[in-house]
Amino acid sequence: MKKTIKLGIVSVVASVMLVGCGGGSGSSSSDSASSAGGNGDTTNYARTFKTMPIVAQVEELMGGVIGIADEVGNGKIGDPLGESIAHADTTLVESQFSWNSTMDFYNNIISIKNVWHGGLKDIAEASQPTQASEITAKIDEALASIVAISDYDKDGVLETTDLTAEDGLMAFRQQILDPEGRAKIENAQEKLSSLQRDLEILKTSIAPTDEQLPLAAKVVDNVIVPGYERLNKKASELVEALTALKNNPTAATVTVARNAWRAAREPWEASEGHIFGPVDTLGVDPKVDSWPVDKNQLDGALGGYDPELSNIDGFPVTMKGFHAIEYLLFGDGTTLESAEDAAIRLQTPVGDEDTAEDKVRLGYLEALGKSFQKDIQSLVDAWK
C-alpha cells in the first residue's frame, strides 16, 4: 500500500494456482519498467511484459517481492513499532480501524509466496538451487511469524470475519505497546529482514535464460491477471454491499459491508508482491491504498460536499480508497465497534444544524466504493 507519509493472489493452494487474496511498497519499479519498454503505455501490459527480455522480467519480479518484504518489515511493522515502547507511534499502523493489520501483513507475505511458487522459484533453481531452497523455507518462516503475532488465529488460519469485542482480542497497535506482543512482532521483523536479505542476494546472482520465458509468463497468467480479476470481483461486491447499507442501514447490512471490505482487502494485499506496470504508472496504488487516512479532512468534507462520484474522484488520496471506507465503516478502531452501534453512527446527522442531512456518511461510503471499483477496473483493463 502507499504510505502517504510516504508511505501502495490469492493464497497458494496446491501447486501454483491461487485463491485468494494489497498498496505498494513505496519502492516502485517504474524506472526499470520504462527502460524495459513500458514507457507509460499500459495497453495490454500482460503482452508488453512478456515481450520484455527475460532479464528485465526477472528484475521486475525480484524487485516486487523484495519491495514488499522491505515494506512489511521496515515500514508497516517498523515505522509504528519504533525503537522502544516510548518511541512507538500507533497512528502509523495500517488498517487499524478494522483491526485487520495482521491479516494485511499475512497476505503481503502470501503475495511473495504466490510470485515465488508461481514461476520465480523455478527460474532461480536453475542457477541457484541452494539459495532457492533457503528462500522457500524463509517465506514459510515469515508467514508463521506473522500468524504468531495474531491473537485471533485458529489452527494457523487467521480469521477476521466474526470478531467481537468480547473475544478479548488485542489489536496490532496495542501489541506494539505490550512487551509480550512486541517480542512476537520483533521476531517477525527479523524473519522478514532475513528473507529480504536472501532475496536481495539472489537478485544479484540469478542467471535467467530465454528458455525460462514461459516460467515468467506463468506468473502473469496464473498469479497477476487472475489476482486482479478476483480483486475486481470483490470490489464490485463491496460496492453492492455499500449500496445495500445506504438503502437499509441495519446491523446486518453493516456486517455484510464490513465483511465485503475485508474480502476485497485480501486480494489487494496479496497483489503487493508485484507493484509494477499499470498499478504504478496509472497511480492506482496511492489512489486506493494511501494511509494514514486524513480523518480530520474527511470528517470536514462530510459537511461540505455532495457525495457524488465526481467529487470523490477529486479528493486527495488520503481521503479515499480502502482506508477512507474502512474509517467510515468501522469507526476509529479504539474498540471493536458493534454493528448495531455502527448502524446508528452512520445515520447520525452531520453538522450542528437541525436541518443537516442525515445519512450523509452512507452516501459517501457508496461514492467511495464506486470510485475505488473504477480504479480497480482500470487496473484490470490495463493488463488485458
Residue type, 48: T
pLDDT at 39 over 80: no
pLDDT at 164 over 80: no
Q: Are strands 153-154 and 2-3 parallel, antiparallel or unpaired?
A: unpaired
CA distance 61 to 44: 18
Residues 74-93, mean pLDDT to the nearest whole number: 94
- 330: its cell numbers: 468501522
Residues 167-174, mean pLDDT to the nearest whole number: 70
pLDDT confidence tier of residue 306, bands split at 50, 70 and 90: low
pLDDT score at 309: 64
pLDDT score at 171: 80
Residue type, 234: K
Task: Write the CATH number of the domain with boundaries 242-383.
Answer: 1.20.1420.20
pTM, two decimals, is 0.86
Per-residue model confidence as pLDDT tens digits over 233-259:
999 999 999 999 999 999 999 999 999
H runs (alpha helix) in 213-306 = 213-219, 225-247, 251-269, 278-281, 284-289, 295-302
CA distance 255 to 240: 13
User: In the chain, what percentage of residues exceed pLDDT 70?
Assistant: 79
CA atoms within 13 A on the CB side of 207: 5
pLDDT at 90 over 50: yes
* 184, 232, 284, 289, 366 from 325: Cα distances, Å: 29, 16, 16, 11, 9
User: In the chain, what percentage of residues exceed pLDDT 90?
Assistant: 65
CA distance 365 to 347: 12
Per-residue model confidence as pLDDT tens digits over 121-135:
999 999 999 999 999
CA distance 79 to 368: 27
pLDDT score at 17: 34
- Give kind and range of the element (H or E) at residue 260: helix 251-269
Task: Estimate the crossing angle of helix 360-383 against helix 225-247, to 10 degrees.
Answer: 160
Q: How remote is the C-alpha of 173 from its chain's centroid?
A: 17
Per-residue model confidence as pLDDT tens digits over 91-108:
999 999 998 999 999 999
Grouping H, G, I as helix, E, B as strand and the rest as coil, residue 167 is helix
pLDDT score at 7: 26
Q: What is the mean pLDDT of the chain?
A: 84
Please state the domain extents for the chain. Answer: 16-222, 242-383
Q: Could you identify the residue written with the cell 478502531?
A: 333
Phi first, then psi: what are they for 203, rounded to 5°?
-60, -35
Least confident of 41-55, 161-175, 215-229: 161-175
CA distance 48 to 125: 25
Per-residue model confidence as pLDDT tens digits over 335-351:
889 999 999 999 987 76
Least confident of 29-38, 54-63, 89-98, 105-114: 29-38
b (16+ CB within 10 A) / e for 73-83: bbbbbbbbbee
